């Protein structure tokens, strides 16, 4: 974005990352393109919703959306789930607030009573109960290994024997060695390294062949006692896709 007369060049995305960014300076639609390409806002939401419902998400389940942003997928989950079952963690409070106002609406919010935490330290235990499903779309994609480790060890504490945690990451040949969140640029990890972080947290993981994440890899994470279920998960997904075609 060029600010006329000042010669000052700002990348819109970076400008939006300034903590406490002045609300009235935020361009219309900023809540959408802050979380990714605005033209795919609907599809990335649908990809998450379809994946979780194909893997068994039902309306009476509890869901935790880690880094829920402007409720891209949240608006679909909130509508689908019974009251009080949707939980979102998001340090950028403005994203949730604009998402609630522009994507969800007051009456749906009142009807479904979604829960939010604005914690920035991956404190998944903050809600004080366990979840049937956890989703983290494009979160490990920007997180340092230490943050991923923290998110996984917290998730271990809020997952029961049947819980499923679905997450995406950018698969590469090397591991991001930084210790900070990287945004909007993504960071890469090898698959063995990502899986080693999962097992360090006392959990197990399997890759999924679900493609809808803009070149990212989806993995399913579970408690060790769910090993058998995890092994057949991808098959279950493929069967659904074939049934629907």
Ligand X SMILES: C[S@@+](CC[C@H](N)C(=O)[O-])C[C@H]1O[C@@H](n2cnc3c(N)ncnc32)[C@H](O)[C@@H]1O
Q: How far is the CB of 89 from ligand X (least distance, A)?
A: 5
Q: Which stretch binds ligand X (CB under 6 A): 54-62, 66-74, 78-86, 196-204?
A: 66-74
CA-based nearest residue to 96, from 82, 109, 107, 111 = 109
Strands 8-9 and 131-136: unpaired
Q: How far is the CB of 72 from ligand X (least distance, A)?
A: 3
DSSP string for residues in 96-140: HHHHIIIII-HHHHHHH--EEE--SS--GGGGSS-EEEEEETTST
Q: Does 194 bind ligand X (CB under 6 A)?
A: no
Q: Which DSSP letter does residue 68 get?
A: -
DSSP 3-state helix, strand, coil percentages of the chain (rounded to 5)? 40, 20, 40
Q: How far is the CB of 97 from ligand X (least distance, A)?
A: 12
Q: Which stretch binds ligand X (CB under 6 A): 51-59, 135-143, 219-227, 229-237?
A: 135-143
Q: Does 148 bind ligand X (CB under 6 A)?
A: no
Q: Does 103 bind ligand X (CB under 6 A)?
A: no
Q: How far is the CB of 120 from ligand X (least distance, A)?
A: 4
Q: Does 181 bind ligand X (CB under 6 A)?
A: yes
Q: Does 154 bind ligand X (CB under 6 A)?
A: no
Query: Do 145 and 176 touch, CB atoms closer than 8 A?
Result: yes
First-to-last alpha carbon distance for the chain, in angstroms, is 43
Residues 68-97 that bind ligand X (CB under 6 A): 68-69, 72-73, 89-92, 95
Specify which residues 167 forms β-bridges with.
136, 219
Q: Does 180 bind ligand X (CB under 6 A)?
A: no
Q: Does 47 bind ligand X (CB under 6 A)?
A: no
Report the C-alpha gap between 218 and 179 in whole angstroms.
23
Q: How far is the CB of 34 from ligand X (least distance, A)?
A: 7
Residue nearer to ligand X on the CB measure, 45 or 226? 45
Residues near ligand X (CB under 6 A) are 35-36, 44, 66-69, 72-73, 89-92, 95, 120, 122, 137-139, 181
């Amino acid at each position: 974005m060029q600010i006329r007369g000042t010669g000052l060049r700002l990348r819109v995305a970076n400008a939006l990352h300034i903590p406490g960014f002045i609300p009235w300076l935020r361009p219309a639609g900023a809540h959408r393109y802050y979380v990714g390409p605005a033209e795919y806002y609907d599809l990335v939401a649908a990809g998450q919703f379809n994946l979780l419902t194909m893997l068994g998400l039902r309306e009476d389940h509890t869901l935790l959306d880690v880094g829920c942003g402007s409720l891209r997928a949240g608006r679909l989950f909130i509508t689908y789930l019974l009251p009080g079952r949707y939980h979102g963690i998001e340090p950028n409070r403005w994203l949730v607030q604009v998402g609630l106002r522009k994507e969800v609406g007051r009456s749906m919010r009142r009807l479904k009573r979604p829960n939010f935490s604005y914690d920035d330290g991956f404190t998944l235990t903050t809600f004080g109960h366990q979840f049937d499903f956890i989703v983290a779309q494009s979160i490990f994609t920007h997180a340092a290994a230490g943050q991923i480790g923290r998110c996984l060890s917290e998730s271990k504490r809020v997952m029961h024997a049947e819980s499923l945690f679905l997450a995406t990451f950018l698969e590469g040949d090397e591991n991001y060695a930084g210790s900070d969140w990287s945004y909007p640029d993504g960071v890469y990890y090898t698959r063995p390294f990502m899986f080693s972080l999962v097992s360090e947290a006392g959990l197990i993981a399997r890759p999924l062949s679900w493609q809808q994440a803009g070149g990212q890899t989806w993995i399913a994470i579970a408690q060790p006692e769910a090993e058998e279920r995890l092994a057949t998960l991808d098959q279950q997904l493929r069967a659904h896709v074939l049934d629907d075609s």
